[in-house]
Structure 1
Amino acid sequence: MEAAPAAKAPAAAEPAKVDFNTVKSAEEAGGMDSLIAAAKAEGELNVITLPRDWCNYGEMMDNFSKKYGIKINSLNPDGGSADEIQAIKDNKENKGPQAPDVLDIGPAYGPTSKSDNLLAPYKVTTWDTIKGTNDPDGYYFVDYSGVMVFEINSDVVKDLPKTYKDLLDPKYKSKVALAGDPRASNQAAQTVYAAALANGGSLDNIQPGLDFFKELNAKGNLLPLIADSGPIAKGETPITFQWSWNAYANKDNFKGNPNIEIVYPTDVNWGGYYYQAISAYAPHPAAARLWEEYLYSDEGQLTWIKGYCAPSRLEDLTSRNVVSDDLKAKLPDAKLLSTSIVPNGAQLTSARALIKEQWDKVVGLDIKSAN
């Protein structure tokens, strides 16, 4: 009699596949090793509107690519927050290089983008140390902050303005520029908001800001050019409203050619911050989540400080003595940062909508890039 064939051992169960489009934490991804492996397999990451000198993003992108071997496609580096959101809407079905994976947006765009179902929730492993007005479910979260300043090419402008109202003086004719289109750029829109408070407005009354820019335009002082590093260096936009981190980065990069003076306006101390978020339609969902993990690691946070930004984990970093004295010198003045006026999300959303609606009618100047 033939022996009965040996029973086959049951096949080992295959590990469950992870849908990185829905992963809300590294733990859900199977741990950081699993997340890193999946991100490396994707091999690419699409970022959008990240100038290399904005908060030291150039070094951040280079370090991330070197660390993980992931190619970064940088889309529309000179765009604004509205361009980021529009890019998601335009590329919902497109998994190619024009579809952003991650966002760095002004705070008014966080809640609205969540409401439009454009964002995917995710909480990085350092979530509990992130300070600020973060969405409780992780749809958007604060990345860094600073204050609004005047960046002045002192080779062109010798008598430096100290206040917003000073800028109305005829001696600044054809010398004042915004750093973006206020209808699309968070930085430019918040400049209008700050001007409102400098001219008798309030966090709930932005009209004086629009009126200020109307008068600035009528006097011929306001230029139609977006003041990015090119026009500033050439002297085409001698006085620019900037977030502090951009002004100091330009001062460093120009190395005295031209000379840059940074003025903290005395009539309003205006603070601002930005949000990170992941697109709900990210073509590289694992890489998107790994990017956020990197930004909010100690290494990523210190890289932002090198670019003059105060990262949202600063309190945790300083409590553990992680920030060197050299890096501390690059942080915004602590008193200015702590006493700055910062509107809440609802106020910013309302102000942004009013500026977008009223800019053409009230101010009547189309702000465009020199390129």
Structure 2
Amino acid sequence: MRTTTLRVIAVTSALAIAAATPVASLAQSMDELAAAAEAEGTLSTIALPHSWCGYGDVIAGFKAKYPNITVNELNPDAGSADELEAVRANKDNTGPQAPDVLDVGFAFGPQAKEEGLTQPHKVATWDTIPDDAKDADGHWYGDYYGVLSFVVNTDLVENVPQDWEDLLKPEYANSVALAGDPRASNQAILAVMAAGLARGGEAGQGSGEAGLEFFKELNEAGNFVPVIGKAGTIAQGATPIVIAWDYNGLAWRDTLAGNPPLEVVVPASGVVAGVYVQAISAYAPQPNAAKLWMEYLYSDEGQLGWLKGYCHPIRFNDLAQSGKIPQELLDALPPAEAYEAAVFPTLDQQGGNKDAVTGGWDSVVGANVQ
């Protein structure tokens, strides 16, 4: 049986937690913030599929706690780049198409801040968020992480691949897909990085270039399917193998309930962990509802909601050390050993990789993923 201690050690070493910085006091008390948010009456989210990280239950929990706030869910299948574009496109729009909050890949947080697309807010639990997973000014902060894995329909795939090079085998013809467009989706961009690292590429531009060569070979071999993979495409047989975050694969497995059976495999090499971050739009039509949403997400209740969705919440260590994580939630995750070799790319490494992948996918791989 896995223990809390094992996972605390794994996460601590991976994130290299530094001493916490003093938390900025909330400008409003929670009661005042809740009243102001309820007066606004709406929260507009974007890119939050209900199967992603347990968001369906997390949103339901927020609604139950604040029944006077309607949650307007925009474009659940959007990628991180799409989220930033939604803020840009709606900065002069206070209507329902303007998102209040963002959940984007790590590299997209600083980009959004630099463009002036975010506003600062430090949640009450600010001190328990690792320093290297948050902006010092409160413009963005890590929320959860997972590792990239192979999600396999075992009704269609007899020999389940265990590492990246396996995917090039002829038996996987017309079988392998990404869970997003690598020109816009953080999940897909980091999948290319993982393949590149497995090939010996150095994290950053090198991993991006090596990963592009891998996917070029995969495409030329006839194994790559240019379809965005998800539970439905796996079940239909259109994408028998999907490269996706472990938490997405585990959620899809639960959703499909054995029809078909899925196996989620953390590859033997090129294990990349991806931290996602939260932010509030600088142009949020409902800024108080946005702040209240953040307070909920970073409360114990919100963090455990993500863990129920198979994501490691950013406050995992704090919750574990205070004995707040039920053992059954730990037991539902892959073994702690699967995460021991995980690489947590720095912002600079992610930025170099992202530039290589988004700039070179069309010319090197030439597959229009949609």
Alignment of 1:1-371 (within 5 A): 27-29=26-28, 31-69=29-67, 70-131=69-130, 132-204=132-204, 205=206, 206-368=208-370
Amino acid at match of 1:183: R
Give the C-alpha shift of residue 353 in structure 1.
1.7
Contact kept, 8 Å, 2:147 with 2:246, in 1: the verdict is yes
Instruction: Identify the structure with the greater helix proportion.
Output: 2
Identity of aligned residues (%): 49
Number of equivalences: 344
Corresponding letter in the other structure for 2:146: G
How far apart in 1 are the matches of 2:24 and 2:75?
A: 28
Residue 331 of structure 1: how far off its partner (Å): 3.8
Question: SS of 1:339's equivalent?
Answer: coil
Give the TM-score normalised by structure 2.
0.91
Q: Aligned to 2:143, what secondary structure does the other structure show?
A: strand
Contact 2:74 2:97 in 1 (8 A): yes
The one-letter amino acid of 1:209's match is G
Q: How far has the Cα of 1:323 moved from its partner? A: 0.8
In 2: Cα distance, 1:173 partner to 1:148 partner: 21
Larger displacement relative to structure 2 (323-332 or 258-267): 323-332
Aligned-residue Cα RMSD (Å) equals 1.3
* Other-structure match for 1:8: none
Contiguous gaps of at least 5 residues in structure 2 = 1-22
Q: Which has the larger radius of gyration?
A: 1
TM-score by length of 1: 0.90
Gaps of 5+ in 1: 1-23
| Paired amino acid for 1:54 | W
- In structure 2, what residue type is equivalent to 1:39? A
Asked if structure 2 preserves the Cα contact closer than 8 Å seen for 1:26 and 1:35, the reply is no
Query: How far apart are the structure 2 equivalents of 1:295 and 1:254?
Result: 27
Q: Give, in angstroms, the shift of residue 336 of structure 1.
A: 3.4
Cα distance, 1:26 vs. partner?
6.5
C-alpha displacement of 1:351: 1.3
Return the offset for 1:235. Answer: 1.4
Please tell me whether the aligned partners of residues 180 and 188 of structure 2 are also in contact (alpha carbons under 8 angstroms). Answer: yes
Query: Secondary structure of 1:96's partner?
Result: coil
Paired residue secondary structure (1:211): helix
CA distance in 2, matches of 1:195, 1:84: 25
Q: Distance in 2 between matches of 1:25 and 1:95?
A: 28
- Once the two structures are TM-superposed, the CA of residue 352 in structure 1 deviates from its matched residue by 1.0
Distance 1:106 1:322 in 2: 27
Displacement of 1:320 = 1.3
What does residue 13 of structure 1 align with? none
Contact 1:26 / 1:32 at 8 angstroms: preserved in 2?
A: no
Q: 1:277 to 1:56 in 2, by over 3 A?
A: same
Per-residue deviation, 1:338? 4.6
